[in-house]
Structure 1
Amino acid sequence: MATITRFPFVRHLRGTATTYTECLTNGRRSNAGVGASFWFRPLTSAISEIPIDDREQEAVVRVRTSDLQEITAPATITYRFASPSQAATRVDFSIDPATGEWLESPLETVGAMIHGATAAAVTGILTGYSLREVLGRDVADLADEALARLRADQRLTAIGIEVIGIRFALLRPEPEVERALQLPAREQVQQEADKATFERRALAVEREAAIGENELANQIELARRQEQLITQKGTNARREAEDAARADSVRVKAEASRAATLSETRAEATRLLGAAEADAEAAKLTAYNAAGRDVLLALALRELAANLPKVDQLVLTPDLLTGMLGKLTADKQD
């Protein structure tokens, strides 16, 4: 905004580097230019101030597709006043000589014109397409086509506006339609998520099955080795029993042979002893045959005395002595 300094009867205006200021005195242009500075009389002067910097205008365009669906296309248009003197003749940019503020709202008027031109351009581009075709369009291509149409719009060039660029946000249908369109995609995403979950569970089951098979294989191998161990232990025990039986057989045979040898030796000794005793008895009998009766009686008495029990006391009665003496006397007489 220009700076106005008040003096008696006259005033001074100092513009900025981004504004075009034009002063009309009595209907004729007296001063004009970018960043102009001049004196003027407030009673006879009409001053217009036009910004020449880049500005942006928001626009929301609603378009009906061929299948009777409504699309919202938010856009941002960047523009500038390429011919400010021309704009001053078509739009009221007059300022208050006292304060330097606009007397009207020129930027709102220009914004409405840009919004209408943008709506016409976008509608012309998207008309005849279905909802899915519109939503499938590239917003960059849509922006290029809309920019070309805006630059060719006579209403904008007539007020000296140059459209520099246009940007579109996401094209969106009505909320209910958008939710309906999102549903298949959500279902697809959910199906893929479920599929991933099932695959993960199947993989987990396969891994658990593999682990179970490995454990079973380990158990089978362990059982087989235990069977081999038991078989080997049985074989070792059988060998030990056979070895022990053979050893016992050898020992029994040795003991039997030793016992037989010992029995034969004892039998031989008994036989020799019996033969010796028989020879001794025969010799005794031969000697007894040669000996007299008295000798035999004495030997008999000696044998009898040797075999009699122990006699602590011996009582000899007269009758016994008489009888014995009578027998002895009778024997002598004989």
Structure 2
Amino acid sequence: MTSIKRYPWMNHFLGSPTGYVVHLQRGTVKHQGVGQAFWYRPVNSVLSEVPVDDQELPTLFHASTLDFQDVSVQANVTYRFIDPVSVSSRLDFGLKPAGSAPAAGKEQVATIIGQLCQSHAIDLIATTTLAEALSHGVSRLRIVLTESLRADTRLKSTGIEILGVQVLAVQPESDVERALQTPVREQLQAEADRAVYERRALAVERERTISENEMASQIELATRREQLVGQEGANARRTATERAAAELINAQATAERQGISAIAEASQIRLVGEAAAARESATMEVYRGMDQATLLTLALKEAAGSLPNIGNLTITPDLLSGALAGLFRETPANAGE
């Protein structure tokens, strides 16, 4: 940073590494260069300090297109002073006492470069439409401004070198910009809506697929359940048929056993009856040849076997005489026969 120390009748100057100082004393260059340090008398000396580092100049201006639309151009110019002595002689970079108005050298450079940029940009934009200016204006303006500024004789004679030009934006008016953005916004909104609809359709399709799968699973389960019920019914019918056949066989076997038992029992009864009849017949044959007294005795014996036990039996003469009379009375009759 440049510093000046003031003493009576003399001042001391100490320069900076980025400032090129030119010391004129009565119109003659006494000192010049970067980082100078010297004494000088302020009454007959003039000091000018020109920056030698790169300078950035932002600029903004308006232009009209071929279809009469206003656009704003924002650019940035990088330059430097390659001939500080010429610059100090043509522009105001003088070091002034404290309280005085600052040097206007940078403002003069900004005015010169800004006017040159605006002039060349207006000439180019006037031959293009708004659509072309918005689509290709930035690159075209960068090329045109760089070439035109580097070839400008005034800048060269002043000792100013243009390092580069950057065009940052070419914008229309706000209402025109909104109008131009509307179709794109609507298209983007339509794309967003279409994406939403497709996502919803895909979700519906997936839900339908899931429902169809669930329905197919239910149908498959119902079919298998029906097959299971049919198989269970068939098994039940087969079991009942087998049980009925077994019961029928058991019944037939039982009936056959009962029939055989009945036949055997009937045969036994018949045999017993026949044996009893034969015995009775034989007995009757035996009885047929016996006399009455013997038969009576046998009858009494049979009757006595059938009677209950008698503890005491009293036979009176009347009873005995009557029985004997009856017995002997019937015997002759039988003998006569």
TM-score (norm 2): 0.87
- The 3 A distance-change label for structure 1 pair 330 and 41 is closer
Matches of 1:192 and 1:314 in 2, distance apart? Answer: 142
Partner of 1:269: 268
Task: Supply the RMSD in Å over aligned alpha carbons.
Answer: 2.8
- The 3 A distance-change label for structure 1 pair 6 and 316 is same
Identical residues among aligned pairs (%) = 41
Matched, 1:11 2:11: yes
Task: Measure how far apart 1:287 and its partner are.
Answer: 0.9
Partner of 1:128: 127
Moved more, 191-200 or 41-50: 41-50
- The 3 A distance-change label for structure 1 pair 142 and 100 is same
Partner of 2:245: 246
Instruction: Provide Cα deviations, 1:299-331, integer angstroms capped at 9, x if missing partner.
Output: 223333444578799887887666445434545
Instruction: Provide Cα deviations, 1:97-152, integer angstroms capped at 9, x if missing partner.
Output: x5598753221122122211121122222222121111101634432221111112
Q: Structure 2: which amino acid aligns with 1:94?
A: G
Instruction: Provide Cα deviations, 1:49-89, integer angstroms capped at 9, x if missing partner.
Output: 22221111110121111222221221111111122222222
Q: Contact 1:125 / 1:146 at 8 angstroms: preserved in 2?
A: no
Q: Structure 2: which amino acid aligns with 1:111?
A: A
Partner of 1:297: 296
Task: Measure how far apart 1:47 and its partner are.
Answer: 2.5
- The 3 A distance-change label for structure 1 pair 330 and 171 is same
Instruction: Provide Cα deviations, 1:225-266, integer angstroms capped at 9, x if missing partner.
Output: 112212222222222222223222322222222222222222
- The 3 A distance-change label for structure 1 pair 79 and 328 is same
Q: Structure 1: which amino acid aligns with 2:267?
A: E
Partner of 2:189: 190
SS at match of 1:104: coil
Partner of 1:81: 81
Q: For residues 163-178 of structure 1, what are the structure 2 equivalents within 5 Å?
A: 163-178=162-177
Instruction: Provide Cα deviations, 1:259-299, integer angstroms capped at 9, x if missing partner.
Output: 22222222222222122112111111111111110111122
Gaps of 5+ in 2: none
SS at match of 2:169: coil
SS at match of 1:145: helix
Matches of 2:50 and 2:309 in 1, distance apart? Answer: 178
- The 3 A distance-change label for structure 1 pair 304 and 124 is same
Q: Contact 1:4 / 1:100 at 8 angstroms: preserved in 2?
A: no
SS at match of 1:137: helix
Partner of 1:206: 205
Matches of 2:101 and 2:91 in 1, distance apart? Answer: 12
Q: Contact 1:61 / 1:122 at 8 angstroms: preserved in 2?
A: no
Q: Structure 1: which amino acid aligns with 2:160?
A: I
Partner of 2:180: 181
Moved more, 31-40 or 164-173: 31-40
Matched, 1:256 2:255: yes
Task: Measure how far apart 1:40 and its partner are.
Answer: 2.9
Q: Contact 2:292 / 2:331 at 8 angstroms: preserved in 1?
A: no
Q: For residues 34-113 of structure 1, what are the structure 2 equivalents within 5 Å?
A: 34-96=34-96, 98=97, 103-113=102-112
